[in-house]
């Protein structure tokens, strides 16, 4: 199973993988900062970072060669980050595949 996943990840173009990696690293850094020194401006930055991660996940959905279960996990992750961006006041994130960002929502704003 690990070999299949490794081969699938290799089927994603490097620019998509790099885009997701950079977006998630920015999000992680802002998430840590926001929890240390929460402010409206920091929450807004975190919302935009979540929006970038969601967009990067959506980009990965366009890559070919992923098994269905991997695509389902990526779709759920994109929806979660979109929901977080909305909860943080950034606004609706366009979903090119239809449906709303609230579908299947797990993440809940605690502030």
Residue 15: count other Cβ atoms within 10 Å of its Cβ: 9
HSE-up of 29 (CA within 13 Å, CB side)?
9
Q: Are 38 and 88 in contact (CB under 8 A)?
A: no
Q: What is the pLDDT of residue 73?
A: 95
- Calculate mean pLDDT across residues 11-34: 91
The whole-model pTM stands at: 0.73
Q: Are 47 and 89 in contact (CB under 8 A)?
A: yes
In angstroms, the CA 31 to CA 33 distance is 5
Q: What is the pLDDT of residue 45?
A: 94
In angstroms, the CA 35 to CA 76 distance is 24
CA 86 to chain centre: 12
Listed range (9-13, 33-37, 62-66, 86-90) with the worst mean pLDDT = 9-13
Q: Are 42 and 95 in contact (CB under 8 A)?
A: no
Tokens at 5, concatenated = 């996943």
Q: What is the pLDDT of residue 66?
A: 86
Please, what sign has the CA dihedral across residues 97, 78, 53, 16? negative
Please determine, for residue 41, whether its predicted confidence score (pLDDT) is greater than 70.
Answer: yes
Of the two residues 93 and 102, the one the predictor is more confident about is: 93
């Amino acid at each position: 199973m690990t070999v299949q996943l490794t081969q699938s990840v290799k089927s994603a173009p490097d620019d998509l993988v790099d885009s997701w990696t950079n977006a998630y690293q920015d999000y992680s850094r802002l998430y840590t900062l926001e929890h240390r020194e929460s402010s409206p401006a920091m929450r807004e930055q975190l919302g935009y970072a979540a929006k970038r991660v969601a967009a990067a996940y959506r980009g990965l959905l366009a890559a070919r060669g992923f098994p269905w279960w991997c695509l389902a996990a990526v779709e759920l992750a994109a929806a979660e980050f979109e929901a977080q961006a909305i909860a943080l006041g950034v606004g609706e994130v366009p979903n090119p595949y239809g449906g709303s960002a609230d579908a299947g929502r797990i993440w809940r704003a605690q502030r």
